[in-house]
């Protein structure tokens, strides 16, 4: 990589971020903005540092809910996509339900779900799943349907079974689509877990945000928010990394 590329790819965005933080810090001091309205970055950082050990448990809870919801969205979403692609009857039976489930505002559903499923982490996993599964279903189904018809003819002319064609042709063909859906799903799972925590919980980063704001501890809410974003970014990166391993043929040319 040339030095010009390093500057463009890393230095410019890093400098922008630092610039924004400095301006933010300066503005809160210069304008004498009260801490509970808008804390300066230094206060957020200090508060986060104070909480570093107490945060661990909450990170753990939210991470578990997120990953649980994400895993469920794949375990349910992928087989659903297969059914939709292979059976027109199931497609016409399920598609309206799936779209309906998607169009109901999840934040509106969350209180009802918590009412039904009780407290604890299970209902949050379920909210995360509900938010995340739609892109998995739609993208995987699109991918499974994207196999060129010639390739299906070819398989048929070799008298390969439908199962063999599925495993050797359609499923790998759908992989890039599946990962596109999974990358959206993982970030939505984080949102779903937090929404679940907002409605009723005593653990998790969402809970911290809610209780910190009710005690005017805005800097704690901010540091929790930053942790949530970091979590979403890391999880997104992890899915992208898995994609690189599963679909090495998608890597840009000349990178092998």
Partner 1 sequence: MIRLDGVEKTYRTRRGDVVRAVEDVTLHVAENEFVTLVGPSGCGKSTLLRLVAGLTPATRGAIRVRDTAVREPFPDVGFVFQQPVLLPWRSVLDNVLFSVEMLGQPPRQYRKQAADLLELTGLGGFETKYPRELSGGMQQRVAICRALLPDPSLLLMDEPFGALDAMTREEMSLELLRVWEERRKTILFVTHSIPEAILLADRVVVMTARPGRIARVLTIDLPRPRTMELEFDPRFKAASDEVRRLIFARRVPVP
Interface residues with partner 1 (CB under 8 A) are 148, 150-151, 153-160, 164-165, 168-169, 172-173, 175, 247-249, 253
Region for 110 from its dihedrals, namely left if φ exceeds 0, alpha if ψ lies in -120 to 50, beta otherwise:
alpha
Q: Return d(Cα 126, Cα 76) in angstroms, integer.
A: 12
**How far, in Å, CA of 221 to CA of 39, rounded?**
10
Nearer to partner 1, 100 or 150 (CB): 150
Pick between residue 20 and residue 154 the one whose CB is nearest to partner 1: 154
Count of CB atoms within 10 A of residue 243's CB? 19
> Is the CB of 29 or the CB of 168 nearer to partner 1?
168
Closest distance to partner 1 from the beta carbon of 150 (Å): 4
CB of 248: closest distance to partner 1 in angstroms? Answer: 8
Neighbouring CB atoms inside 10 A of 183's CB total: 19
> Min. distance of Cβ 156 from partner 1 in angstroms?
5
Q: Are 134 and 102 in contact (CB under 8 A)?
A: yes
Q: Least CB distance from residue 123 to partner 1, whole Å? A: 39
The residue among 123, 122, 102 whose CA lies nearest residue 111 is 123
Give Cα 34 to chain centroid, integer Å. Answer: 33
Quick one: tokens of 225? 């928010």
In contact, 188 and 132? CB cutoff 8 Å: yes
Considering the complex, what minimum distance in angstroms separates the CB of residue 140 from partner 1? Answer: 16
Q: What contacts 17, CB < 8 A, 6 or more positions away?
A: none
In the complex, minimum distance from the CB of residue 179 to partner 1, in angstroms, rounded to a whole number:
13
Q: Smaller CB distance to partner 1: residue 107 or 175?
A: 175
Q: Do residues 206 and 194 lie in contact, with contact meaning Cβ atoms separated by under 8 Å? A: yes
Nearest approach in angstroms of CB 79 to partner 1 is 22
Instruction: Pick the closer one to partner 1 by CB: 2 or 157.
Output: 157
For partner 1, which is the closer residue by CB, 66 or 165?
A: 165
Nearer Cβ to partner 1 (4/256): 256
Residue reference for tokens 């877990």: 193
Helix residue spans in 31-121 (DSSP H): 41-50, 52-86, 88-103, 106-117
């Amino acid at each position: 990589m040339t030095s010009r590329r390093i500057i463009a790819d890393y230095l410019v965005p890093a400098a922008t971020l630092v610039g924004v933080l400095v301006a933010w810090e300066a503005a809160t001091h210069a304008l004498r903005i009260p801490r509970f309205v808008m804390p300066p970055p230094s206060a957020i950082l200090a508060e986060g540092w104070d909480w570093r050990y107490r945060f661990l448990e909450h990170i753990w809870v939210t991470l578990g809910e997120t990953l649980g919801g994400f895993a469920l969205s794949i375990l349910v979403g992928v087989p659903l996509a297969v059914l939709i692609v292979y059976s027109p009857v199931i497609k016409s039976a399920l598609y309206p339900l799936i779209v309906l489930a998607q169009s109901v505002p999840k934040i509106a559903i969350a209180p009802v779900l918590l009412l039904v499923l009780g407290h604890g982490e299970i209902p949050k996993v379920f909210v995360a799943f509900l938010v995340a599964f739609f892109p998995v279903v739609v993208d995987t189904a699109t991918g499974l349907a994207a196999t060129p018809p010639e390739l299906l003819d070819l398989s048929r002319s070799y008298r390969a079974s439908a199962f063999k064609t599925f495993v050797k042709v359609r499923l790998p063909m759908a992989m890039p689509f599946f990962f596109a859906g999974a990358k959206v799903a993982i970030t939505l799972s984080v949102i779903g877990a937090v929404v679940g925590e907002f409605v009723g919980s005593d653990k998790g980063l969402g809970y911290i945000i809610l209780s910190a704001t009710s005690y005017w501890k805005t800097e704690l809410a901010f540091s929790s928010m930053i942790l949530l974003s970091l979590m979403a970014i890391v999880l997104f990166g992890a899915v992208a990394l898995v994609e690189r391993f599963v679909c090495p043929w998608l890597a840009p040319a000349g990178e092998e």
